[in-house]
Structure 1
Amino acid sequence: MIVGDYHILRTGLKLLLESKEEFDVVGEAADLKGLIACMENSLPDVIMLDLVLPEGVVVDMLKYLQRAYSRIPVVVIAVNASQGAVLDCVMWGVKGVVWKESSEEDLYQALDIVMAGENYFQMPPNGIDTQLINQFERVQTLQSELAMLSQRELQVLKLIAEGFSYKEIGERLSISPRTVETHKSNLLSKLNMNTPIDLVKYAVRSKLVD
């Protein structure tokens, strides 16, 4: 699926992708409303998102996808986007980054890699930014850590970060407060942390909560 503001860019990407037998574009969208409609009609294996869109719109789209379709990878194409904007996208769960100067082979490779379950973070073509590399590496570490957690542990982590008590979390998830405490202990162990405050900071850093 291709998501982008400009029809001509979506058309160009579609022609490029469908020139390869292994790719089939199942939908196009220009805004969040169109994206929601496309997702309800046909679920893709991967979503390509053009960063020509206004940054606020991009974040809204990524929040929606993270909430409703977190298992579908997103690749962003950075067209006139700042490195900071690209990094924000990665923090919101994007699995691949390619730049406007990239070749079609770079794009094909990015799609193949993210569909195989890996990340593809291409460095900016106008010079390697050491800070950006370090940020990409930190994001990859966060994503690897989150992948270790069960769905229930993620739910408990999010609710702890939102300030709910063990009793309230238990009521929301239909489990006992003791089970909530067990999940909390497992989270601390898996993430190598010491206190619930550490978990709250981690949830914020990982964009599990705003």
Structure 2
Amino acid sequence: MESNCRVVIFESYPLFSSGMKTILGASNTIEVTGEATSIDHLLHLIQDTYPTIIVFDIIHCVNAGIKPLRKIARKFPHIPLLLIVGEEYADCFDTYIRLGVKGFVFKDDSPAEFIRAIKEVCSGHDHFRNQVRSYFQESLQSNRKDRASKQSNHSLTDRETSVLKLFCRGLTYKEIGHQLSISPRTVETHKQNILSKLRVKSTVDMVKYAFHNRILS
């Protein structure tokens, strides 16, 4: 026999919350144990009703953002989160998933899909559209490339890093040589090595790369 899903709904607007409650009332395996319109109210409801899932409408959240989700995930890591989202939140999908969100329901999904999502997440599964999975995989690959790029910066020697930082300050070969107690010709040698390692062609590109990849920090 299928276990009941005890649901707490976070929705800033009572009209939408009432609509969700009506939809979920069509299922005899889902019970709405509370509805919250503020984060503080939501936290109290979770503590009082012990839900098996939290439905969080990120679209109509007045203070929508990562902070409230992080707070909930930190306080109740054992309770899965199901977000109601729109395509316009795509840039945040990977962040939501990393916070522990187990599924998305889109604002254009059907009531039947909403019920199915809740049942799947309550059963210990996740619920994501294929395009969300693809987006998340692309984000992971992008992050790996970024990390690889930053790791490649470590191939610069300490001296090369010092030279690069001084170029970013707009100093000339002579001024850099004076500061580092080396000749301008040696500065030129270091610069060529930097260009080669960073795979750029000019001083301007080198400086841009340094700022973009936070080599100066």
TM-score > 0.5 by shorter chain: yes
Task: Please list every run of 5 or more consecutive structure 1 residues that lacks an aligned counterpart in the other structure.
Answer: 139-210
Q: Work out whether residues 62 and 93 of structure 1, in 8 Å CA contact, stay in contact via their aligned partners in 2.
A: no
Q: Work out whether residues 45 and 73 of structure 1, in 8 Å CA contact, stay in contact via their aligned partners in 2.
A: yes
Alignment partner, residue 82 of structure 2: 75
TM-score, normalised relative to structure 2: 0.55
Q: 2:14 aligns with which of 7, 11, 27?
A: 7
Alignment partner, residue 62 of structure 1: 69
The number of equivalent residue pairs is 134
Q: Work out whether residues 43 and 72 of structure 2, in 8 Å CA contact, stay in contact via their aligned partners in 1.
A: no
Q: Distance in 2 between matches of 1:130 and 1:67?
A: 24
TM-score, normalised relative to structure 1: 0.56
Q: Distance in 2 between matches of 1:72 and 1:109?
A: 18
Aligned to 2:105, what secondary structure does the other structure show? Answer: strand
Q: In the TM superposition, what are the counterparts of 1:39-58 in structure 2 within 5 Å? A: 39-54=46-61, 57-58=64-65
Aligned to 1:25, what secondary structure does the other structure show? Answer: strand
Q: Distance in 2 between matches of 1:60 and 1:93?
A: 13
1:115 correspondence with 2:122: yes
Q: 1:133 to 1:64 in 2, by over 3 A?
A: closer
Which of these two proteins has the greater Rg computed from alpha carbons?
2
Q: 1:132 aligns with which of 128, 132, 135?
A: 135
Q: What percent of counterpart residues are identical?
A: 22
Name the aligned partner's letter for residue 11 of structure 1.
S
Provide the aligned C-alpha RMSD in A: 2.5
Q: 1:17 aligns with which of 15, 24, 27?
A: 24
Q: Work out whether residues 94 and 136 of structure 2, in 8 Å CA contact, stay in contact via their aligned partners in 1.
A: no
Aligned to 1:47, what secondary structure does the other structure show? Answer: strand
Name the aligned partner's letter for residue 76 of structure 2.
Y
Q: 1:137 to 1:118 in 2, by over 3 A?
A: farther
CA offsets per residue over residues 15-36 of structure 1, 9 Å max, x none? 0001211111001111211111
CA offsets per residue over residues 144-169 of structure 1, 9 Å max, x none? xxxxxxxxxxxxxxxxxxxxxxxxxx
Alignment partner, residue 31 of structure 1: 38
